[in-house]
Every structure is written in structure tokens, then in C-alpha cells.
Amino acid sequence: MSLLFRGAELDGSARDILVEGDKIVAVGEELAGPLGQLTEIIDCLGLAAFPTLVNAHAHSAMTLFRGAAEDLELEAWLKSVIWPLEAKLTAEDIYWGTRLAALDMISTGTGLCQDMYSDPLATARAARNSGMRFVIDYALIDGMDEDKAAAQRRACKAFFDNLPDFGPNVSFNLAAHSVYATCPSSLRWLGEFGRERDLSLHIHLAETKFEIDSCKKHTGMSPVFYLDSLGFLGPDVFAAHALWLDAADFDLLAERGVKLVHNPASNMKLASGPAFDYGAAKRRGIVTLLGTDGSASNNGLDLFADMKLAALLQKHEYHDPTRFPLTELVASATVLGHEAFGDGAGCLEPGKAADFLLVDLSAPGMIPRRGLAANLVYAGGGGAVDTMVCAGKIIMRHRKIDGAEEVRAEAARLSARLAAAR
Ligand SMILES: [Zn+2]
């Protein structure tokens, strides 16, 4: 079945986009295409095409905790609310929490999410049924208990030795929670095992002052130098947050080719540290992607909203309105993310993966149309997303997503059960 998107606005002109299988095969004016019964024609008058967004750091199932912990210090946020709730989570909670997250992400334009949570199989089942792309971490978090760490490494190896297949849109990678919650033996092992199996690595890095102080106290090094001493860092590493970094840390991250994931909403809401220094990363050629983090610290998963916050934070903090301009912001949320995860999407060109949004140009924030990217980022793009194509399939059509009612009902039921069990 081919899909012919007729007359979508693309880079300011009306274009037809022909999709066959999971690929864009042609983009042009009044494409004839292999018309016939096997082609569905989608009228795109009044809609603009735009690449799907990439949420490079999320804990999807935390949607069930949305609104559970407001205006708290980080320690109280974690110890009195989040950890007790997480102790009660079942695989069913993680499945429906992730489905709710996918609903939130699809309806606001995100087509790929890198997810770090505690049950990769429950997450993967939800990911497959959502239709969007997921890169799911097998995350090691041991609370610095060597026995636990060794058991986790064995379980992790067994998981990848018998890797389950959840379809072409779901892949797995590796994660360490952080330098303070994952033993050095596991950090070293993850670097070795990841490179042996060609799996990327994901970690929370330099998020809080506590992390920096305790790492220096125990190792005499900053978290960046400590991870490097264990052979963890490389171009296959995604480091989330990256707030408490000095010039030497940035230099080493650049040398190793590490990619950073900036989470502006979560960082500001939890007052985790100083503003992320996008300029320091950019000057050194370090790739910066964007993430929402979990719904207990954001609380939505609309990446367009995080793009706006990322830009405003840089401009405000560094007294420089030219910082993190739209072209770089859009690249961080689209093409750089798709390239980093290797899904072949990010540009609307023949031969690329068919992953794109159709944005409703009649939405109030999209008028007038001086610049689509500026409207999307600064005037509420998430609410203007009308349709999403992911790997050649329409997974949201005129804001309708298959199965959405069941997801809403189950997520509400399970979050009420968790609240009652506290
Ligand atoms: Zn996080």
C-alpha cells in the first residue's frame, strides 16, 4: 500500500510526498505516483509537513506519577514520593504508563523516544502497540551493591543473548542510572559489553551538586573523568542533563564524541543546577539533543514546549538573544536525534524513512505564517499537530489515535490505584 500525501506545505511550497513501505520515495509537484487501488491519497491542503521530533531522554511510565510531587526539594521529591511509588509499580502499570506517554508524545509530534526505566519488556510491549519508535534501555541500577550489580550483569547478558523481537520500530540499548547508583564494576562492564554488541549507552550525568561532590569525594575525579577512567565514554554514549561541567569536562566529552541530552523543564523544575551551557557544547562541536525527562518532573511530554524552554533559558541566562537559534533548536529536536539513533529519518527527502508530521496551519498559533519553525516552537506547536506518519504508517490521523480511549481509561485506573496504595 502506497500513501500519496497531496499538496502538503514543505519549505514554503505545496509538495506531494509519496510513501511506499516505510520510505519516502518521491517529493515533488503533482506527483502521479503508482496510482490505483493500492494508493491512498491524503489531501494535505492547509497542512505543513515537518519531521517527527526525537525525545532523547524520558522515563515514559512515570506518566502515572504526573502531578504527584509538586514544589519539593529533590531529596524529598525522590525519597518521600517517587521511590515509594516506584516500589509499588507492576508490569501492568509500566505497560499502561508507557502507552499514556506514547499518546502524549504522538499527539504533540514526537515520533521516537529513548526510554530509561525498570522493566524493558513491559515498556517494549507498550512501545510496539503504540506505533511510534522507541529505543529502550536495559538499565543497571544497583545502589552500589556489588552482589546486586553482578546479578544484574548476568541478567542483562542473558537478555541480549535471547533478544526478543518487538518489530522494526523497537530497539534496545544499555544504560547505567548514574555514577552514584551504579557500581564501577558495572560501568566498566557496560562500556565493554556495549561495544562488543554494538549497543549505545545512556546515563544521567552531572545532574546535581550531590553527584559531583560525592564522586569527587569517593574517586578524586569529576563524574566525566571517572566514567572515562572506566572506559565508559565514547561516541555511542548519550549523557542526560550535563549541568555541573567545567571546561576540562566539556573538552573530554568532545574528545570522546559523547552526545548530550538537555532536559530544560526537568532541570528548572527540580532546580538541579546551573543552566546547561549550550554554548560550551556547541563551541566544541558536541551534539546536543533534547529530552523531556519523566512526567513527575516536567509534567508533559510535548517536546515543542521543551524546545521553547531550552531556547528561552539560554537567551535569558546568558543575556544573549542569539543563543540557541531556531535552526539549531530544530536540528537538536529532529535531524540530529534521528541521526544519533540511526532510524534513517529526520529529512523529508526521497530515500529517507517516512517519519513526519502534518501540522494544522489553521491553528491559532500558526497564523500568520512568517516562519513555521518559529510558530511551532514559540506559539504552541504541540497542539497544532494534526497527523503523524511513523515508519510509513499513519499512527495519528486528524488527532485520532487507535486505542486512545482504552489507554486513557487504564492509565487513570492504575494511577488511582497507586495513589490509594501510598
Ligand atoms: Zn532522567
State residue 35's pLDDT score.
Answer: 63
Q: Which three three-digit cell numbers place residue 126? A: 507498550
Q: How far is the CA of 261 from the centre of ligand 1 (A)?
A: 10
Q: How far is the CA of 192 from the centre of ligand 1 (A)?
A: 23
Give exposure, 161-183, as e/b (b: 16+ Cβ within 10 Å): eeeeebeebbbbbbbbbbbbebb
State residue 308's pLDDT score.
Answer: 98
State residue 74's pLDDT score.
Answer: 81
Q: How far is the CA of 294 from the centre of ligand 1 (A)?
A: 6
Smallest CA-to-CA distance from 299 within 66, 28, 54 is with 66
**From CA 116, how far away is CA 109, in angstroms rounded?**
20
- Sorted by sequence, the CB contacts under 8 Å of residue 201 that are 6+ apart come out as 173, 174, 175, 176, 190, 191, 194, 232, 234, 236, 237, 238
Q: What percent of the chain has pLDDT over 90?
A: 94
pLDDT in tens, 178-193: 999 999 999 999 999 9
In the predicted model, is pLDDT for residue 31 greater than 90? no
Q: How far is the CA of 412 from the centre of ligand 1 (A)?
A: 23
Q: How far is the CA of 194 from the centre of ligand 1 (A)?
A: 20
Q: What is the mean pLDDT of residues 353-360?
A: 98
- Report the predicted TM-score, pTM, of the whole model to 2 decimal places: 0.97
pLDDT in tens, 73-83: 888 888 899 98
State residue 226's pLDDT score.
Answer: 98
pLDDT in tens, 225-279: 999 999 999 999 999 999 999 999 999 999 999 999 999 999 999 999 999 999 9
State residue 309's pLDDT score.
Answer: 98
In the predicted model, is pLDDT for residue 34 greater than 80? no
Structural domain spans, the chain = 2-50+348-404, 53-341
Q: Which three three-digit cell numbers place residue 373? A: 519553525
Q: What architecture does CATH give domain 53-341?
A: Alpha-Beta Barrel (3.20)
Q: How far is the CA of 83 from the centre of ligand 1 (A)?
A: 14
Q: How far is the CA of 240 from the centre of ligand 1 (A)?
A: 7
State residue 75's pLDDT score.
Answer: 81
Q: How far is the CA of 85 from the centre of ligand 1 (A)?
A: 16
Q: How far is the CA of 204 from the centre of ligand 1 (A)?
A: 6
Q: Which residues pair with 115 in a beta bridge?
A: 58, 136
Q: How far is the CA of 52 from the centre of ligand 1 (A)?
A: 22
Q: How far is the CA of 117 from the centre of ligand 1 (A)?
A: 9
Q: How far is the CA of 245 from the centre of ligand 1 (A)?
A: 17
State residue 37's pLDDT score.
Answer: 61
Q: How confident is the model at residue 224 (pLDDT cuts 50, 70, 90)?
A: very high
Q: How far is the CA of 267 from the centre of ligand 1 (A)?
A: 10
Estimate the crossing angle of helix 146-161 against helix 184-197, to 10 degrees.
10
Q: How far is the CA of 295 from the centre of ligand 1 (A)?
A: 10
Q: How far is the CA of 288 from the centre of ligand 1 (A)?
A: 16
Sheet with 110-115: list strands edge to edge. Answer: 53-58, 110-115, 133-140, 170-176, 201-205, 237-241, 259-262, 288-290
Q: What is the mean pLDDT of residues 17-25?
A: 96
Q: How confident is the model at residue 33 (pLDDT cuts 50, 70, 90)?
A: low
CATH topology of domain 2-50+348-404: Urease, subunit C; domain 1 (2.30.40)
pLDDT in tens, 281-315: 999 999 999 999 999 999 999 999 999 999 999 99
Cis omega (within 30 of 0) for bond into 299: yes
Q: How far is the CA of 181 from the centre of ligand 1 (A)?
A: 13
In the predicted model, is pLDDT for residue 38 greater than 90? no
pLDDT in tens, 363-377: 999 999 899 999 999
**Which amino acid is located at 270 in the chain?**
L
**From CA 398, how far away is CA 403, in angstroms rounded?**
15
Q: What is the mean pLDDT of residues 77-99?
A: 94
